[in-house]
Structure 1
Amino acid sequence: MTTRLRIGIIGRGALAQELSRHLAQHTASTEIVGYLARSKSGQAMPAECFFSLHDFLAQKPDLVVECAGQAATAQYALPVIQAGAHYVPASVGALADDIFRARLVDTARSMRSQIRLPTGAIVGIDGLAAARHTPIDDVLYRGTMPPSTLRGHYDGDIPDQGLVFSGSAREAVKRFPKNANLTGTIALAGIGFDRTRVEMHVDPGLNANVHELIVRGHFGAFDVKVSGLRISDASPSSRIVAGSLAQAALGSTYLLL
């Protein structure tokens, strides 16, 4: 009999719920052993919710998926890996902290665990990682979103239409902790947080999040564009993000380690 992969999920919001629906299609090979939640009030989930990391890890997950924001990865990634589990962060922006990321990688090596980076809301991460072996000259991520995607998740001013932000991926993941985690994956697969350029735009005429990845280098060039419908009006995440987390949990992903 094949042993099912024991999966724990941090969070129980819209992204965790969507991920759970995807994993429910793979019950022959996976089982959700529990959710780590902050509050006892909230959405009922397909498996038990735990309110302490100790109780959560006592379920002995083989792999943990984070669906609760950058602060959750900053708080829980290291103890999860120290417990011997693989780790899949939705909030890859937390890995912009070089010292924190190096500690995670070193710990994962010693524990023989993997840090699995989801492809997130875009395609082409495999091509970007391949292009890195032939020098890349320039990487630009351009995100264009309806105002409702950014409002409530960004402290700065948002114009009626047009450019909201231009800068590095390192700065983007700090200023847009709910909207720019994708740029963390792009940075780690490509030329790093400081050289990866990011533009964030707003367009009230959109009903989807538009993600563009533009790469130039010695290999040639490629442009990728994805128009992603959101999980819900209340969630900033595209529906495909939950699918990318499921793929990472099932083992098809870009590995940080």
Structure 2
Amino acid sequence: MKKLVIVGCGHLAEIVADAVVSGLLAEYDLVGVYSRTASKADRIVTKMQQHGKPCVACATLEDLLALKPDYLVESASPAAMKALALPTLKNGTSIVTLSIGALADTAFYQEVMETAKAHGTRVYIASGATGGFDVLRTATLMGNASARFFNEKGQAALRRSSVYDPSMETEKRVVFSGTAREAIGVFPTGLNVSVAASLASVGPENMQVIMQSTPGFRGDTQRVEIENDQVHAVIDVYSATAEIAGWSVVSTLINIVSPIVF
């Protein structure tokens, strides 16, 4: 059995915990969780214990890593990913991350790669609310590729962001245009998927990103487009909620231990 821990105990983490309880992640034991909000961590621990699965809520990352897990699921934030990545990899623990925005920092990205290689560990980038990483990587390897990313949100999702103004309540408009690296600076949690798509293809500096605000729109549309001399691919994903991100972690964990890898 592989020992699994989780950092960040919101709804997406509960999807992973439910997958362990249901037997969908039968090759993993969820042994510990860590969250800044103790009640959220306690809720997952209680759920596991109710199904006869020992699990502890840890007060610090150090306590969590002391459990010597094989894998750590990060579903907290890019800031959390930056804080935990290096000590986790040095601990001999591989990471499945949803906060890919942290890796838009080139120096940090290089340090993560070097640390993982030195300690025989890996960072698995969950697809979140987008997809087609295999096509993106393949088309980029073929050479001469360009890539674009489009995101559509409702104005309600942007009311607390720096780009919001009242006209968005009635007008459809482009609220951001720039690179994936610039995008994650403006939207630290809202455009992680654009960084994931860029890392699978042309890089955060070369992936062009547009975000559109549409009055009354619910959910998210993520569209990735890549083109070279021989291939033109468009990956278009609409998600009504963020649940697909949690399930993408479950899919990644299944892939890690599967004899057949997609």
2:94 to 74, 83, 86: 86
Distance 1:137 1:9, change over 3 A: same
User: Which runs of 5 or more structure 2 residues have no equivalent in the other structure?
Assistant: 49-54, 258-262
Correspondence 1:196 to 2:207: yes
- Report the identity percentage: 27
Change (3 A) 1:188 1:38: same
- Is residue 10 from structure 1 mapped to residue 18 from structure 2 by the alignment? no
The one-letter code of the counterpart of 2:38 is K
Offset, 1:202:
1.3
Larger Rg: 2
1:186 corresponds to: 197
Does the Cα contact within 8 Å between 2:158 and 2:164 map onto a contact in 1? Answer: no
**Which SS does the other structure have where 2:96 is aligned?**
strand
Instruction: Give the deviation of 1:155 after TM superposition.
Output: 2.4
CA distance in 2: counterparts of 1:141 and 1:165, whole angstroms: 11
Alignment TM-score, normalising by the size of structure 2: 0.87
CA distance in 2, matches of 1:205, 1:48: 41
Query: Using the alignment, how far apart are the partners of 2:14 and 2:235 within structure 1?
Result: 28
Counterpart in the other structure of 1:29: 27
Distance 1:15 1:151, change over 3 A: farther
Aligned-pair CA distance for 1:157: 2.2
The match for 1:219 is 230
Between the two proteins, the alignment pairs up a number of residues equal to: 242
Instruction: Tell me, yes or no, if structure 1 residue 117 matches structure 2 residue 128.
Output: no
Please say if residues 226 and 234 of structure 2, whose CA atoms lie closer than 8 Å, have aligned partners that are also in contact. yes
User: Mean Cα displacement is larger for which, 210-219 or 33-42?
Assistant: 33-42
Instruction: Decide whether aligned partners of structure 1 residues 72 and 155 sit closer, same or farther in structure 2, where only a CA change above 3 A counts.
Output: same
The 8 Å contact of residues 66 and 90 in structure 1, kept in 2 or not, is answered as yes
Conservation of the 8 A alpha-carbon contact between 1:135 and 1:219: no
Q: Hey, what's the Cα distance between the residues in 1 that align with 2:175 and 2:219?
A: 17
2:115 to 59, 84, 107: 107
- 1:19-43 Cα offsets, whole Å, 9 max, x none, are 2223333353111111111133336
Cα distance change, pair 243–124 in 1 and its aligned pair in 2 (3 A): same
Supply the AA of the counterpart residue of 2:123: I
The structure-2 alpha-carbon separation of the partners of 1:27 and 1:133, relative to structure 1 and needing over 3 Å to count, comes to closer
Show the 5 A alignment for 1:54-203.
Answer: 54-152=62-160, 154-158=161-165, 159-160=168-169, 161-203=172-214
Contact 1:143 1:199 in 2 (8 A): yes
Query: 1 or 2, which has the higher helix percentage?
Result: 2
3-state DSSP of counterpart to 1:187: helix
Quote the Cα distance in structure 2 between the aligned partners of 1:18 and 1:90.
13
3-state SS, counterpart of residue 40 of structure 2: coil
List 4+ stretches of structure 1 deviating above 6 A. Answer: none
The amino acid that maps onto 2:255 is G
For the aligned residue pairs, the C-alpha RMSD in angstroms reads: 1.7
> What secondary structure, in the 3-state scheme, does the structure 2 residue paired with 1:42 have?
helix
Aligned partner of 1:234 in structure 2 is none
CA distance in 2, matches of 1:14, 1:150: 20
Cα separation, partners in 2 of 1:91 and 1:171, compared to 1, 3 Å: same
